[in-house]
Each structure stands twice: as C-alpha cells, then as structure tokens.
A and B are shown apart, each in its own frame.
Chain A
C-alpha cells in the first residue's frame, strides 16, 4: 500500500489526546476530499518525507519535556529508522525540508516546567534547522490556559485545536479549491455531516465458512510474533486489607519455560488486557442486533487495520472476540467517537417518547460531535469518567453497524509496567496498584489493565512483551546510586537492588502509613540489615513512625550534604520513580536546592545546568507514569 501522499498528518501521542485531535483533522480532510497520509510520527516511513509537501504535526509533551513513545517507536516490528531519528542526524543540510510546508500544533500543560517542549523540539529541527516553511506560526495549547496560544483566555485545549483546524483548512482550500471527480473538475465541497465516511477496511462475514460454532474454538492471537504468552504464578495483595489501595505482587513466566528472559533493571513489560465477559454481554445486549451475528466468523474487506496488529489479532475473528480483546468500549469516549457515531442514532423503536425523543438524542449526540466548546461533553463524559458503553445505554437510539466497529470504537492498547524482578529472571514480577475510584456515577470506575491483572488467577494466561529501556548505562555499574521511589515507584527499584548494580545503594521509600501500604517491608528491612542497601523511609500520614519527614524529598533534604557530596564527588546516579505529578517536580526542586547549598553552585542557573548535564548523560534518571 503506497502512502506517499503530498498531504501528511503526523501525531505524537502518549495518552491519546493528540491522537484524537489528529484523527479529527484527518476525518475533516477526508470529508473535504483531501487525500492524505495519517499515522504516528514513529510509523511514518522517513523516505516518504521527500514526497511530502504539506506536513501537519500534532504532538503532546510527556514526562519531563519528552516526545511521546510513538514518535520514536513504531507499532510494527523491527523498523530501526523512524522519521524523527532520521531528522536528528547531524549531517543533514539546512535545505533538506525546503520542499515542505508545515503547520504544527502542540499539546501541553503549563503546570509542568517543560511546557510544550516536544512540539518546540520538532519545530526547531524541522523548521529552523532543516528549512521547512511554516504555513502559519505553530499553536501551543495549554491545559491550564496559563501559557501558549490560549494564554490567559480561559479557553480550553480544544479551542486551540479548532483554531488550528480552521487555519489548516483555509490554507488547503485556497490551494486546492477544486477536485476532480470522474475526470471533471468540480468545486470542493464538504461531505454532508449525516453521511458516514466508510473506512478503508471493515468487517464482513467470512466467505465459505466451515465453522459451526466459533465459541468452541480456542482463542489465539495471530501475526505478531513478538507477543509472548505467560502463565500467572502469583497474584497477591500486598497492602493491608483496610487500606484504600489494592497493590498486587504479580508474577508470571513464559509458557515455554524460557530459562532466561531478556531484560535489565528499569525495563518494562507490556501487558495486553481485555474486557470481561460481563461487560461484553452488556454491550451486545445494548446493540441487540449484533447478538445473532456475534459468533459468526469474520474477516476484513481490505486487510487488518494497523492499530490491531500490536499484540496480535484475535482468532477466531468474531464480534464477541473483538469486543472482548480489541475494542476499548469501557474507555471514556472522545470527540471522534461522537463524530463517527451520532448519525447512527436512528432507532425510534427504542424511544419511549417516539420520534421527538429520537430527534433530541440525535441532536445531543451531534452537539457532542461538533460543538467546538467541549464543556458539555467534558461534563457528561470526562468528569464522571463515563464509558462508551454507558453512553450507549443512555442513548438507546444509537444503532451501530457492526461492520464498521473498528472504525468508531477505540482499540485496547497495552499498558506498561516496570519490572520488579531481578535481571533475566524468568519469573517476571510486577508491582501493580489496582486503579479504582468513585465519581458521581454509582458504578465504581476501574482501570482496564490493572483490573484485568487483579482478576487473573494463578495458572491463567496473559499476553506480554518485554521492552528494553536502557535506563542505567553499563559504565555506571558500581557507582553509588540514590534510589527514590515512593509508593509503587518502588517497582523498578526492586529490580535495581536485586541486580546489585552497585555496592552503595541508598533507597528512599515513602508511603502513607507504616502498617498499611509499606509494601515489601520485610524484604526491604532484610536487605537493610544485610547491608545490601541503606534504607530511608517516610510515612506521610503517620508522623509517629516518621518524625520530621513527611515525604521522600524531606528525607533527601535532611541528608542533603552527604547525598550532594555523593553526586558531585563520586558521580552518583540518581534514579527517581513513581507517579507523575507533584512528586517528581518537588524532588527535582529539592535536588537543585541541594546542589546550591552543598554542591558549590553559586546560583540557580549553574545548579540547573549541572542537573541538565546529569540528565544528558543519564545520571539523573526519571521514570514516572
């Protein structure tokens, strides 16, 4: 399949926001009959850039100002060179991209210090250094509306997107006002919004079907050899029963009895979750016309869509299996879901109030799909964390055509967990906090993957892949290491300690209560007694057991002089793990203060510069999620 279109939409997305905006843009361009290539930056074949003339980039920023994973990685196997890794080559001429006109849109959150760094990096390289021409100045959206294009306006990220979309369409329509249809030139007009845009490939019944009952057939996953199957060995709660959070010690090993797995401390396991049967039945009951075909074998009209390849495609391919293993209908619907489905609100037979109610539902869904002010949608879906299934249960008039299911339903993606077991240990151990919380909806909200893991019984199988992150450089072996990991942040640090990467390891662990969520207490204290590690604990809501220190950063500060010495004079490594948000920022600020006070750096600038150097050489490592 050739993808060398002149118009190209590329996205870099971590949580799916940027991906959704890019999907909306792609959808809009199709409705205006603009041919274009649409994929993640990582999936774009770098050579195609020579044929690209109009490049639209939508990218979010993750972690500490980094580009999202799918910028550098690809969803396919073994493809060493991505567009971004190519563009970073030093020997490229400054006119390399002078044939490209580009417009960029960044998504960021100004509560993080490296606001919109990803799009700025892309911009600096693609425009400033390699000569692409900007169609209009890039847009930077801020979740907080405190910086970027919507600075101080109080406008949300979506209004920045719509400004971007407006400008992109203006440009393209001016450039290509007409199109050809059957050899004739006609004015380019947008497709009627009521019309559903058929995806390139969709589901159909398998011809010459020999299979009587697909439910008897064993489930398998095809066409992704890198996916492995593991068997659960241990699945044990390790927080106190009356503690609000359920954290699991979860171990599994390959079903083929591999003697040694290929991973190092800091590496992650990708786990491929699925929906539970109860929810699948609920979905089928809601779309009751799917029921009679739910177990019929299917295939695709035009090949398996790319999104479905990671982790392998379920076999036998039936609606029921797709719903269970691939369609993320328990996720919160995004705008693009409404964009693609509102027009299917047609079933008046399910309306208590007949035609009038049907019109109301249709209109409301259309608003969710097209309203540029997404407040209502946010209040209805995002805030209470309402799932697609729950939306469908509220809007019974929606009668979805199953053949396009993979076009309008999002795909279940793997989730990544830091490995806690020692390097290469075939019994892979994870430390997983089970996600559940309350909103105004009475049913408890659950994270799809952590709850999938929580459900797994000993002996059951799961799909996984291992990822090598190369977090700790080999040449740093045996340099002192400062490990900071409150809560489940301890997960990758356990692997570091088990690997005995250094004789001087200091662990700063924190949680709420000594008696409730101090996970691996005995193990850590044993290691401490044996002299394997120096252990420093802080309990934020348990001052009796943690006098004078509330958080990990308080303990760092308390031992500031000694630790700073270790960093400056002994080239110690600093490894920080845990949930993103305030913690990594505060630890970072503490670290800079330590450098200033005890490290001999006269001012903020010098201290920051030193920290940046550390990061550049992977001596200050941060793994947060």
Chain B
C-alpha cells in the first residue's frame, strides 16, 4: 500500500509560465508526504474534458498567480472537487471569497495550522443551509446539461438527502431512515459519462538498471552492411535434429476449458460437415422464431406468443448473453415487442 497522501494539483493556466512555482509547490507538498497523483489545468476541468474520480484524493491544491483577494474560481467546480476528495480531505489555495460555496458543499473551514477547507461527513454536520431546493433543480437538469458534471451532482443529491434527518421533522414518517441510508450509498452512479483518460507517463529509473554496456565498438558493424550477399541462410538456423528437445517454457497448470476444434479448410474427417449441420440446425431454429409480416418479409416480429424477452429473460439481449441452446442465437439483439428491419440481417446469399 502507498504510504503517501494522494493529491490533486489544479493549476491556473498562467502558472505554466513560471515552472519554478510549480516545482516549489511540489517539493513543499513532498515534505508533507503529499504526492500529486494528478495534475490538471483548471480550464480542462471546467470545460468537462477531464472527469475526476470520486473520493480519490486526500488533498487538492489550487495554484494560481492571482493574489488571494482576486482569485476567480469557477464555483460549479467546488462540488466536483468535494466529490473527488476522500472524507476529511482538504482543499488548499481557495479563500473565504468562496466560503459559502464551501459550506454548501460540506466543507469545514479550518484556520490552523494553515488555512484550508476540510471535507466533513455531511450527515454529521449540524448546519441548516437551505440547499435541497437548489439540488433538486440540479437533479432535474443534470442529464440535459454538460455530461461531465453528471457524476458529482448525483452524489450531492445523495449527500443532501441523507442530510434531511438533521431537520428533525417530527412527522417525517413517510421517509423511513432505511431508505435514505440506501440512497446515500448508491455506488452505481459512479460510472462517469465518459471514462477518465490518462496520458501515458512512463518512466524507468535509470540507476536501478546497473549494467553498463559499451556498445561503441559494436556500432562499426552498421557501417559495413551495404553488400548483402554475405548473409547467413535462414534455413541453416534450424537444426532439425535439435528440434526434438527445444528449450522452451512449458505450461503446466491452467484452466480446463479448451477451445472447440474447428474444421480446416479442406476438412476430410467429417468435422466440416458437422459444423455445417450445426449452422443449419441453428438457422432452422431461427426460422422457427422469426415471423415474417405480410409486407414482403421486410420485418421480423419478435412478439411471438407473448414472449417479450424470451424464456430466460436474456434472449433479447444479444448473443453475448444468450444460452448455448437459445433459438435466437445468431440474431441481433432486439427490443422486445418491436419488429426489426430485416435489412440488417437479411440472408442474401
């Protein structure tokens, strides 16, 4: 396990002109055992081209050349940052100018040792900020708006709904606590509208690669290669007698499933016929479940005998989900009850 705190470094585009500031920040962070696992430009986050994972960071630092009083920060990102923080994680670099947004999003403002915002467990907070309304509006509009903000707003909704009990309405019996608890831990909404994308950052630490080689003398062989009639014969590289005991790695364990044999092109052993029979069997099965409508066989009707989704419930989902004996095998996924156009699957031999 990693022993450092994982950090996110957000930078104002203007910072890129002063790399030494960036470097200083990193060294300072390192002294506090913070490791910036991600570093993004704030505008990238703002335009939605970067999505943050939920509860990933211990700390987020915003780096800007603006003086503390003049900081301009997109407010909508504060909720996003809140979601990407672990519980008790902190944001460094924002000021009291955004205090209200900080509080709304469940931060506690801490002054010492250094000024920062700390993410607290909302349900334990005793604040009566009137945010539910605002959130409801967001829930409604979230799907239509910028896809990238979809993720955080769901969580916020959950957080706020789990905060409801703090209102302590006596007659609130219609909303049992159990339900709310369930809501608040719906993790399936984690799925981002678009997955996170990662730029390749590869590195080998050269020192750990101890062997030093002096290849300068070998370079000469590249200078003398213009004539190509002095090459070895490829065939000579194979020693037929030796192939009886090749030095190769043997695999000993593994799963028992084996690939079904397939007939070769010029099969004579009967396997090809067997395969053809299988295909034909399946096709005749398909013919049984396909019902053609009157208008010149252009559509297939899957609503046979009230079978909406097939016996096992998976038939409509496509071959990847069908059982091995499924009569629908080989047909595309379909929407139950909807005829589908035969063009896409027509047998046009």
Which A residues form the contact surface with B (CB < 8 A)? 6-7, 29-30, 33-36, 46-47, 50-51, 53, 65-67, 81, 85-86, 88-93, 96, 99, 111, 114, 117, 120-121, 124-125, 136-140, 145, 148-151, 153-156, 159-160, 163-164, 167, 175-187, 189, 191-192, 194-198, 200, 282, 343-344, 346, 352, 355, 357-360, 362, 364, 368, 372-376, 378-380, 383-384, 386, 390, 393-396, 399, 401, 436, 438-444, 579-583, 612, 615-616
Complex Cα distance, B219 from A47, in Å, reads: 8
Give complex CA distance A89, B254 in Å: 41
Give chain B interface residues in 212-234, CB to chain A under 8 Å: 213, 215, 218-219, 221-222, 224-225, 228, 230-234
B195 within 8 A of partner (CB) = yes
Chosen A-B contacts, 7 in total, with CB atoms closer than 8 Å, are: A33-B203, A88-B232, A99-B213, A137-B247, A180-B203, A182-B39, A184-B30
**Which residues of B lie under 8 Å from residue A183 when comparing CB positions?**
23, 26
CA distance A47 to B188 in the complex (A): 51
**Chain A contacts for B278, CB-based, 8 A:** 440
Q: Are A156 and B329 in contact (CB under 8 A)?
A: no
Among residues of B, the one whose C-beta sits closest to the C-beta of A200 is B200
Judged by a CB distance under 8 angstroms, whether B251 is at the interface is yes
- On whether the beta carbons of A140 and B215 are closer than 8 Å, the reply is no
CA–CA, A386 and B35, complex, Å = 46
| A383-B243 Cα distance, complex, nearest whole Å | 33
Instruction: Determine if B233 and A159 form an interchain contact, defined as CB atoms under 8 angstroms apart.
Output: no
CB neighbours of B204 from chain A (8 A): 6-7, 34-35, 176, 179
Q: Are A65 and B248 in contact (CB under 8 A)?
A: no
Cross-chain contact A198 with B199 (CB below 8 angstroms)? yes
- CB proximity of B158 to chain A, nearest CB, Å: 15
Closest to B213 in A: A99
Q: Does B182 contact A (CB under 8 A)?
A: no
Establish whether residues A442 and B286, one from each chain, have CB atoms under 8 Å apart when the complex forms. yes
Contacts A125-B237, A198-B197, A375-B259 known; 6 new A-B pairs at CB < 8 A: A51-B215, A149-B248, A155-B254, A181-B203, A192-B196, A198-B198
Sort chain B's interface into a size bin. 35 or more
Minimum C-beta distance from B282 to chain A (A): 5
Stretch from B105-113, B168-176, B339-347 forming part of the interface with A: B339-347
Question: Taking beta carbons and an 8 Å cutoff, which residues of B are in contact with A?
Answer: 2, 4, 23, 26, 30, 35-37, 39, 53, 188, 191-205, 208-209, 211, 213, 215, 218-219, 221-222, 224-225, 228, 230-235, 237-239, 243, 246-252, 254-260, 262, 264-266, 268, 278-279, 282-283, 286, 316-321, 329-333, 335-336, 344-349
The docked-state distance in angstroms from the alpha carbon of A181 to that of B34 is: 12
Q: How far is the CB of B260 from chain A (nearest CB, A)?
A: 8
For residue A391, which residue of chain B has the nearest CB? B320
Contact residue among A35, A177, A379 (Cβ-Cβ distance under 8 Å from B202): A35
Query: How many angstroms between the C-alpha atoms of A551 and B198 in the bound complex?
Result: 58
Q: How far is the CA of A183 from the CA of B35 in the complex (A)?
A: 11
Q: How far is the CA of A6 from the CA of B208 in the complex (A)?
A: 13
Q: A347: nearest residue on chain B (CB-CB)?
A: B193
Closest to B212 in A: A99
Nearest Cβ on chain A to B289's Cβ, whole angstroms: 12
* Least Cβ–Cβ distance between A322 and chain B, in angstroms: 20
